[in-house]
Amino acid sequence: MNEEYNMPIPGEEFKEEVLNAYAPKLAKKRGRQIVVNKVEEGDAVPEILANTRTAPGIITMRGCAYAGCKGVVLGPTRDILQITHGPIGCAFYSWLTRRNKTRPTSPDEPNYMTYTMSTDLQEDEIVFGGEKKLMAAIDEAVALFHPKAIGIFATCPVGLIGDDVHAVARQAEEKYPGINVFGFSCEGYKGVSQSAGHHVANNKVFTDVVGLNDTAKPGKFRVNILGEYNIGGDAFEIERLMAACGFTLHSTFSGNSTYDEFTSAHTADLNTVMCHRSINYLAEMMESKYGIPWFKVNFVGAEATAKSLRKMAQFFGDPELIAQTEKVIEQEMVEVSKVRDDVKSRCDGKTALNFVGGSRAHHYQEILKEIGVTTVVAGYEFAHRDDYEGRKVIPTISVDADSRNIEELKVEPDTTRYSPRITAEDKAKREAEGFAFSDYRGMMADMPDKTLVIDDCNHFELEVLIDMYKPDLVCAGIKEKYIVQKRGIPMKQLHSYDYMGPFAGFKGAINFYHEIDRLLNSNAFKFVKAPWDSAPELTATYGVNA
């Protein structure tokens, strides 16, 4: 049972109002995607429909599989040369727009982050096939950049004209034996959102990259972070904290990462998962094949960061590591508490709507709560039921035509490299003590009862929500940003952070508290209403009256 939040207007009323505006078929579907939260024994929550098609004509927050694959998962890696196979637009729009920061260790190290590459397919190639041009593009790229690895990303028309990016990748590997070339079938029409692209990306990285190099990074307590994309420097802050505590960060998928780190990621002792939606596949597959256990972490919010670091230290069980981790938390929390208390005094009691991604709509509720801001309505753009209801519902998720099109890899333990990092008995014992592995309890279990949960919230619903609930703050993406702000309500982009950050870790939490303080309390938004709009008409003070 969670605490109840006293919604000014019951969620059911909102639901009724929006469903009435829809055509019957759409109303039926949306009715299953809008849920009033209620948490019962064992984190049981109402079922929500998710990862389903957006109705045509609906102004949606969602993007496509290409964006999920190239933009989200692979984009942050600095030294895999990425070629988009298709017309020019896709490569153009995914060029530096997600602000994945990267920091090469030396000026000589390759860094392709500032480059976007495309075959810029033209009509002739659409008619006669574009494979030759793709191969020629690879030749030109190799001559100019001499990369270790090349990723090829398929766009919508490529799938339809039958270009085989995987065949071209194999051909290129034969021609350039030292270069790992791999293709992604991430045509934009695959699946129903970016989510399909995440899965496509995970599969290929798993089969073609991870496991190629058995040399482990030196150091103790070797951890991978999965699903951290270093937007605004989040990964830099997490790297700092991990080093301070005494962990060895082996590789991050994929913020501030390199190809070489991916190839030997299977030698790490532990996988931690930050963004569950975009990368849980890789965590699962690495456990099955290499025996690396995983659990969910969250570095958004000071409490969540402390909890995640503690759990990692506890996993290794080393007294020195645990002590050092505690010391770091204690030191960091001094400044955090000071700023948090100060900011909370001005933000307490405010409300927010939160529509982002497949994790952030959950993660950012915790940090907002730290300064007294309650998320009264939240939803994901491209998540699945397990991100809402917890992984316990995975066996009950029905597979529809759109998800069937995304390959589920069958993974067997590696004949030589499979080595469970902890024994089955140890794992069972720890689980009995409440230490959760392969876990994600989902967003709804952490939300107050009576709050609203909305999957794939669209423009129309957002407008009604704002009218009905009059939130103090809305969190979503760039497409929503100015729709909200024109109404005089501050809006925080939680995909790009409005070009600020980091917001992860302890320093990030401080940044975020200050930023929300600015949004809710600075003068700027107070000017939206002009003084004469609220004052009655006057006769002229210096009027010339007879």
Partner 1 sequence: MLLRHTPKEITPRNALTINPAKTCQPIGAMYAALGIHNCLPHSHGSQGCCAYHRSCLTRHYNDPIMSATSSFTEGASVFGGQANLLDAFTNIFSLYNPDIVAVNTTCLSEVIGDDMVQIIKKAYDEKKIPAGKVVIHASTPSFKGSHVTGYANMTAAMVSYFAKSTGKKNGKVTLIPSFIEPSDMSEIKHLAEELGVKYIMYPDTSDVVNGPMDGKFHMYPKGGCHKEDIEASGDSIASFAIGKLGAYSAAKLLDTQCKVPFKVVDLPIGISATDDFVDALRKVAGTAVPESLRKERGQLVDALCDMNQYTYGKKVSLVGDPDVLLGMVRFCRDAGMKVLHVVTGTPPTGMKFEQHIKEICGEDVIVHSGLQVDMFLFHQLVQQNKPDLIMGNSYCKYICRDMDIPLLRIGFPIYDRIGQSYVPIMGYRGGMHLLLKVLDIFMDRQDRDAAEENVELIM
Residues 171-210 binding partner 1 (CB under 8 A) are 187-193
Q: Output the CA torsion sign for 69, 242, 79, 282.
A: negative
Annotated catalytic residue: which of 50, 62, 64, 276?
Answer: 64
DSSP structure string for 19-51: HHHS-HHHHHHHHHHEEE---BGGGB------S
| 365 contact partners, CB below 8 Å, separation of at least 6 | 354, 375, 378, 443, 446, 447
Nearer to partner 1, 214 or 400 (CB): 400
- As measured in angstroms, the least distance from the Cβ of 407 to partner 1 is 13
98 included as an active-site residue: yes
Residue 443 in contact with residue 388, Cβ under 8 Å?
yes
- As measured in angstroms, the least distance from the Cβ of 297 to partner 1 is 29
Give the three-state DSSP class for 102: coil
- Residue 161 interacts with partner 1 (CB under 8 A): yes or no: yes
The residue within the footprint of partner 1, chosen from 48, 80, 90, 302 (CB under 8 A), is: 90
- Residue 49 interacts with partner 1 (CB under 8 A): yes or no: no
User: Distance between alpha carbon 345 and the CA centroid of its chain, in Å?
Assistant: 30
**Considering only 81-89, 372-380, 422-430, 504-512, which stretch makes contact with partner 1 by CB under 8 A?**
81-89
Tokens for 139, please give them. 């030749």
Instruction: Name residue, tokens 């727009």.
Output: 97
**Considering only 7-15, 89-97, 291-299, 306-314, which stretch makes contact with partner 1 by CB under 8 A?**
89-97
Please give the backbone phi and psi of residue 353, each rounded to the nearest 5 degrees, phi first.
-105, 145
- Residue 427 interacts with partner 1 (CB under 8 A): yes or no: no
- As measured in angstroms, the least distance from the Cβ of 405 to partner 1 is 5
Here's the x/- map for partner 1, 345-384, by CB under 8 A: it reads as ----------------------------------------
Residues 275-304 within binding reach of partner 1 (CB under 8 A): none
- As measured in angstroms, the least distance from the Cβ of 359 to partner 1 is 19
**Considering only 92-100, 251-259, 260-268, 333-341, which stretch makes contact with partner 1 by CB under 8 A?**
92-100
Nearer to partner 1, 171 or 248 (CB): 171
Instruction: Name residue, tokens 């008409």.
Output: 537
Cα–Cα distance measured from residue 26 to residue 457, given in angstroms and rounded to the nearest whole number = 13
Tokens for 515, please give them. 């930023």
Helices in 296-354 by DSSP H: which ranges?
302-316, 319-347
Annotated catalytic residue: which of 67, 69, 154, 306?
Answer: 67
Residue 51 in contact with residue 381, Cβ under 8 Å?
no
Nearest to 344 by CA among 302, 297, 310, 308: 302
The residue within the footprint of partner 1, chosen from 57, 319, 536, 543 (CB under 8 A), is: 57
- Residue 5 interacts with partner 1 (CB under 8 A): yes or no: no
- Residue 123 interacts with partner 1 (CB under 8 A): yes or no: yes
Nearest to 94 by CA among 72, 120, 119, 65: 72
The residue within the footprint of partner 1, chosen from 6, 8, 106, 143 (CB under 8 A), is: 143
- As measured in angstroms, the least distance from the Cβ of 314 to partner 1 is 41
- Residue 166 interacts with partner 1 (CB under 8 A): yes or no: no
CA angle 36–40–44, rounded 5-degree value: 85
Nearer to partner 1, 254 or 458 (CB): 458
DSSP structure string for 97-115: TT-B----SSTTS---TT-
Residues 457-516 within binding reach of partner 1 (CB under 8 A): 459-460, 463, 477-479, 481-488
Cα–Cα distance measured from residue 496 to residue 477, given in angstroms and rounded to the nearest whole number = 8
**Secondary structure of 43-68 in HEC code, one letter for each residue:** HECCCCCCCCCCCCCCCECCCCHHHH
- Residue 438 interacts with partner 1 (CB under 8 A): yes or no: no
Give the three-state DSSP class for 355: strand
Nearer to partner 1, 461 or 517 (CB): 461
- Residue 114 interacts with partner 1 (CB under 8 A): yes or no: yes
**Considering only 151-159, 211-219, 262-270, 314-322, which stretch makes contact with partner 1 by CB under 8 A?**
151-159
Nearest to 191 by CA among 47, 358, 78, 333: 358
- As measured in angstroms, the least distance from the Cβ of 384 to partner 1 is 16
302 included as an active-site residue: no
Cα–Cα distance measured from residue 177 to residue 124, given in angstroms and rounded to the nearest whole number = 31
- Residue 91 interacts with partner 1 (CB under 8 A): yes or no: yes
**Considering only 2-10, 126-134, 251-259, 409-417, which stretch makes contact with partner 1 by CB under 8 A?**
126-134
- As measured in angstroms, the least distance from the Cβ of 176 to partner 1 is 15
Cα–Cα distance measured from residue 510 to residue 139, given in angstroms and rounded to the nearest whole number = 47
64 included as an active-site residue: yes
Nearest to 409 by CA among 187, 272, 213, 206: 206
Instruction: Name residue, tokens 């150091």.
Output: 219
265 included as an active-site residue: no
**Considering only 168-176, 258-266, 321-329, 397-405, which stretch makes contact with partner 1 by CB under 8 A?**
397-405
Catalytic residue positions, numbered: 64, 67, 98, 198
